[in-house]
A and B are shown apart, each in its own frame.
Chain A
Amino acid sequence: MNVRRVVITGAGVVCPVGCSEEVVWPAILEGRSGIGIISSFDSAEFEVHIAGEVADFDPLDHFTKRELGRLDRFVQFAVVSAESAVKQAGLDLEKMDHERAGAFIGPGIGGLPELETQHSRLLNSGPRRVSPLMIPKLMTNAAAGQVAMKFGLHGPTMSVSSACASASHAMGEAYNCIRYGTADVVICGGAEAALTPTGLSGFQQAKALSTRNDDPEAASRPFDLNRDGFVMAEGAGSLVFESLEHARKRGAQILAEIAGYGASSDAYHITLPEPDGKGAALAMRNALADAKLAPEDIDYINAHGTGTPAGDGVEAKAICSVFGDHAKKLAVSSSKSVFGHLLGASGALESAACIWTMRDNVCPPTINLDDADPECCGLNFVPHQPQERQVDAVLNNSFGFGGHNVCLAFRKFTG
């Protein structure tokens, strides 16, 4: 089979530390936390009062009032990040073959804000008061559908949903779609806005969240001995994937190449990772094999690293099992230490960070890593400060509740 090379030509982000590369990348490198006290609703009755909220975002800057009536917050984030990505890619929407272009976007949860609003109406006023827009607003594929409508994409378009691995699965499937010839261009990534009373209660009750309410900026502390859970965040990331041939033909600036996609399933537990990290390791091995890269070729891993007591140690063990002696030579960091956990969107934002890491040859830090957990195998987690080093090939890990593991391999585009 003729397998085509696939490159990235655009990246757009919306996250708690900002809504453009110019703001977000320096914030990640300098470790400026996007975590604060929840302001979008009163969290007084909750055990958790902290989150990463997207603050610098006025929907009316991007949409008309009528459009907003049809777009849940996660869809707004998806469309805005896709617009940035398409702009950077310089895609000429007039000339593009629209039947060969699609959108793969993964929210992990979907439109919780709309679900809450309409459920209240159902309970308070009865079924005749529930909005006919509820279903098309809250469905997980609303983001991909709106992006397709925005840019007139008539090729394969869908949501890919696997909890916190959603965006990475979406990108991996987009990669397959292009390399096996089904499409030439796919706008892919993830979007999530589940920071609502229901969403917060659910994660709080699952004991997944940090309760370091008195020090929000120190709460997201992956791989640290005193980590106590992840910090919920919201936002989106979109990347423009296209065949190398298509990018070259239109003279696009190529940001990086997708080298490989590995996926696996723990088949173990609804929330907990398999304790030896076999599933995570399998995803990484699959990505390396797919990319035809040796473990020694990898310079940096953007870890899933959420800051939960169970997850980080398992991921570190998995890295050690895959990389052997090389594990301590490469750099591993968790950008979630800065912007929190964007759930289904996290893999897209972190893939953008991987692209910038390779471009600038600098590994972003894991902030709040004061005292590395000995369970985390003594890896170089890039504590506090970024590290300058040659970075030619990277991995991005994303794992989701349900035991889904995805690893994406990226490399510098060298022609």
Chain B
Amino acid sequence: MSDEIRDKVVGLVAERMGVEPEQITEATHFVNDLQSDSLDMAELVIDLEEGFDLTISDEDAQKIETVGQAIEYIKQSQQQSQ
């Protein structure tokens, strides 16, 4: 299950930022590595909310700086809702 979440997040990030999934790891930093700006991040939050059927508060969204943090956030959210 966890690999599925990881692959899906990586796929969404790759699609949004126009890069190949192979270029993305858990350590990939949205701003430093992918040159994301605030609009990209807002789009990514929508992608993640839609992709995983959850709501990410603005406060939580601001704490997500790497792909690994995004994966971790989604795993925790799904555990809490189970």
Contact = CB atoms under 8 A, between A and B. Distances in A.
Interface of A: 64-70, 125, 128-129, 131-133, 136
A75 B39 CA distance: 18
Nearest to A132: B42
Interface stretch (B25-33, B43-51, B69-77): B43-51
A66 B50 CA distance: 19
A195 B10 CA distance: 35
B78 to A, nearest CB: 19
Given A65-B18, A66-B18, A69-B18, A128 B43 contact: no
A1 B9 CA distance: 62
Nearest to A70: B39
Contact of B46 (A65, A69, A70, A131): A131
B49 A128 contact: yes
A64 B18 contact: yes
12 contacts: A64-B18, A65-B18, A67-B18, A68-B18, A69-B16, A69-B18, A69-B43, A70-B39, A128-B46, A129-B46, A131-B46, A136-B39
A67 B16 CA distance: 10
Interface in B45-75: 46, 49-50, 55
A133 B17 contact: no
A67 to B, nearest CB: 8
Contacts of A67: 18
Contacts of B43: 69, 131-133
Contacts of A64: 18
A129 B17 CA distance: 18
B46 A66 contact: no
Given A128-B46, A128-B49, A133 B18 contact: no
A70 B17 CA distance: 11
Contacts of A66: 16-19
Nearest to A67: B18
A120 to B, nearest CB: 14
A125 B47 CA distance: 13
B61 to A, nearest CB: 12
Contacts of A133: 39, 43
| 7 A-B pairs with the lowest CB-CB distances in the bound complex, closest first | A66-B18, A65-B18, A132-B42, A132-B39, A64-B18, A133-B39, A66-B17
B72 to A, nearest CB: 22
Contacts of A65: 18
Contacts of B42: 132
B62 to A, nearest CB: 14
A390 B44 CA distance: 59
A129 B50 contact: yes
Interface string B12-23: 000011110000
* Centre residue among A70, A132, A133 by max chain B CB count within 10 A: A132
A238 B39 CA distance: 29
Nearest to A64: B18
Contacts of B18: 64-69
Contacts of A128: 46, 49, 55
